[in-house]
Amino acid sequence: MQYKTQGIARSYFTVALLLFALQVVFGLYLGLSYFAAIPQNIVNVFPFATARAFHTNLLVLWLLLGFMGGAYFITPEETKSEIYSTKLAYLQLILLVGTGVTALVGFLFGWNQGRPLLEIPRPLDFVVVIGALIFLFNIGMTMIKARNWTAIQGTLLGGLVFLAVMYLFGMPFYKNAAIDWYYWWWVIHLWVEGAWELITAALMAFVLLKITGVERRVVEKWLYVEMGLFLFTGIAGTGHHYYWLGAPKYWLWVGGIFSSLEPVPIVLMVYDTWNHVKERREQIKNPLTFVYAVGCSIYHLLGAGVWGLIHTLPQINYYTHGSQVTVSHGHLAFFGAYALLNLTLFYFAFPQFERVERYDEKRGRIGFWTMSLSMLGMGLAFGVAGVVQTYLERVLGMDYMATQSYMRLWFQIVFVFGLAFLIGVIITAYDLLKLSPAKEAAA
Ligand code: HEM
Ligand code: HEM
Ligand SMILES: [Fe+2]
């Protein structure tokens, strides 16, 4: 860590890790609800929908805190200057975590806007906006004052501004449900397949630059290509959510064609990560960061690219829409692209916070493989449940509840993999928070 204010990221990352573990606990409750009868008095206070809101909002919150921490971590090194205001950075963290806690308590009492993933009620939306403005101001001022622009900074700032602006479209409520969902997707889709991809490209480029020693010129060239392609395919790709929404028919074509191209920049990202890692000029002390970086790029391709592609054409989506096939993709994509990206950054940054130059990697590797393999198992089990659902319900026309009974086994399998996943998360969080120096380094 070359700059003192990079330490701000530590608080963001620590909170993010704890929320990650909590998110997964609620995931287990959801999984359980699909095959076991939870006592009615528990369901009365904590119904499935509330648990789902906890699970998904915690996910969004921890990922965003990770991105923000990431921005606080890389901006000083990129701009060669300290963060504009440390106080604002901590104020913003308190504000956002406070909003998160208030929102969760509110959900228990039905204080909820109702739209999945963006359940938090309007008054809290305004607090989020204030938090986001403080954040953008702080990062923006740091970059403007330093006047040391790089492509990585530009992409990062562009992605962050894009992210914040899109949030605004999820705030108003439109009486016409089709229009309401139309804009809901501007937030959800343009986040994960637009803004967040830019942030990912920037953060990953930074980490690769630092751990491989490849030339900045090479990393930046790729960054421009990826950024352009992500925007080009991702924005028009929004159409894959407009097939059955009441939107005009041309979206079937636009969505089908452009979203089918979305895997292209993701493939390029794997290719370029792999090349950087292969042609590294420096010997890295902790190869686990490589494992995470390469793992993230491959899993990103699998969960978002391949799993997205298989149900993105209207001819297929007609049958799979809103089924457990979607849930399978949601899990593999979020984990592969964004959970692993955050964890890559954490593994890059924590040793620097702790000033541990070389740490014992055994525990961390066990954590990586436990999480990655059990999420794969979980995703596949959700996928089979989804295929069963699609076939029985949508092709054969069996009714909803009868179909559910044939899906039960697969939810039991989801639950078992989920337990393993939680263990992986606990091992990983513990490992990061208590990095132990490697034996030879200690000696
Ligand atoms: C990292 C990037 C991505 C993430 C995190 C992600 C996540 C998700 C999630 C959570 C949903 C479910 C939303 C809901 O209905 O509640 C979804 C839906 C969908 N995603 Fe992705 N996705 C990503 C990239 C992609 C890509 C690249 C494609 C296409 C190639 C794609 C195709 C789709 C389609 C077609 C749906 C709608 C499914 C339906 O009709 O039910 N996604 N995605
Ligand atoms: C123990 C591990 C987990 C289990 C058992 C689990 C289970 C579930 C279940 C049952 C749902 C509800 C699906 C529905 O509405 O039909 C859900 C939703 C969701 N979970 Fe998880 N989850 C786990 C971990 C995770 C992780 C680690 C992530 C992200 C990295 C994640 C992301 C999501 C998302 C994005 C949704 C909404 C999906 C959609 O709208 O299609 N979950 N989860
Ligand atoms: Fe999408």
Instruction: Tell me, letter by letter, the H, E, C secondary structure of 200-259.
Output: HHHHHHHHHHHHHCCCHHHHHHHHHHHHHHHHHHHHHHHHHHCCCCCCCCHHHHHHHHHH
Q: Per the structure block, which two tokens stand in for 397?
A: 């026309």
Please, what sign has the CA dihedral across residues 135, 200, 287, 216? Answer: negative
254 Cα: distance to centroid of ligand 2 (angstroms): 29
Closest-approaching ligand to the CA atom of 198: 1
For residue range 108-159, list pLDDT tens digits in order: 999 999 899 999 999 999 999 999 999 999 999 999 999 999 999 999 999 9
Task: Give me the phi and psi of 245, to 5 degrees please.
Answer: -105, -10
Dihedral Cα 222, 225, 231, 234, nearest 10 deg:
-80
33 Cα: distance to centroid of ligand 3 (angstroms): 27
Ligand 1 contact via 312 beta carbon (within 6 Å): yes
Ligand 1 contact via 310 beta carbon (within 6 Å): no
Mutate to test the pocket of ligand 2, among 22, 30, 196 (most ligand atoms within 8 A of CB): 30
Mutate to test the pocket of ligand 1, among 264, 302, 329 (most ligand atoms within 8 A of CB): 329
Question: Taking phi first (over 0 means left), then psi (-120 to 50 degrees means alpha), and beta for anything else, what does residue 149 get?
Answer: beta
- pTM score, two decimals? 0.97
Closest Cα partner for 54 from 21, 9, 14, 11?
Answer: 21
| pLDDT at 442 (0 to 100) | 54
107 Cα: distance to centroid of ligand 2 (angstroms): 18
Closest-approaching ligand to the CA atom of 296: 1
Do residues 198 and 162 make contact, with C-beta atoms less than 8 angstroms apart?
yes
The per-residue DSSP string of 123-182 comes to HHHHHHHHHHHHHHHHHHHHHHHHT---HHHHHHHHHHHHHHHHHHTTSS--SSHHHHHH
Domain boundaries, the chain: 1-149, 284-443
CB atoms within 10 A of CB 207: 25
Q: Which residues of the chain fall below pLDDT 50?
A: none
238 Cα: distance to centroid of ligand 3 (angstroms): 6
| pLDDT at 285 (0 to 100) | 80
Nearest CA to ligand 1 atom 24: 304
Give ∠ CA 416-418-422 in degrees, rounded to 5.
125
358's CB contacts (< 8 A; 6+ apart) are 285, 286, 437, 438, 440, 441
Ligand 1 contact via 302 beta carbon (within 6 Å): no
20's CB contacts (< 8 A; 6+ apart) are 58, 62, 339, 425, 429
Residue bearing tokens 């849930």:
327
Ligand 1 contact via 438 beta carbon (within 6 Å): no
Burial class (CB within 10 angstroms; exposed 0-12, middle 13-18, buried 19+) of 110: exposed
SS3 101: helix
Residue bearing tokens 């923006």:
140
For residue range 223-269, list pLDDT tens digits in order: 999 999 999 999 999 999 999 999 999 999 999 999 999 999 999 99
Q: Taking CB atoms and a 6 Å cutoff, what residues make up the pocket around ligand 2?
A: 24, 27-28, 30-31, 34, 52, 55-56, 59, 116, 326-327, 330-331, 334-335, 339, 414, 418, 421-422
**How many Å apart are CA 180 and CA 114, to the nearest integer?**
11
Helices 122-146 and 151-168: crossing angle in degrees, nearest 10, is: 160
Ligand 1 contact via 234 beta carbon (within 6 Å): no
Mutate to test the pocket of ligand 1, among 192, 270, 325, 332 (most ligand atoms within 8 A of CB): 192
Task: Give me the phi and psi of 398, to 5 degrees please.
Answer: -70, 155
**How many Å apart are CA 435 and CA 39, to the nearest integer?**
41
Do residues 204 and 273 make contact, with C-beta atoms less than 8 angstroms apart?
yes
Q: How many helices (H) and strands (E) does the chain have?
A: 19, 0
**How many Å apart are CA 172 and CA 420, to the nearest integer?**
40
**How many Å apart are CA 112 and CA 119, to the nearest integer?**
5
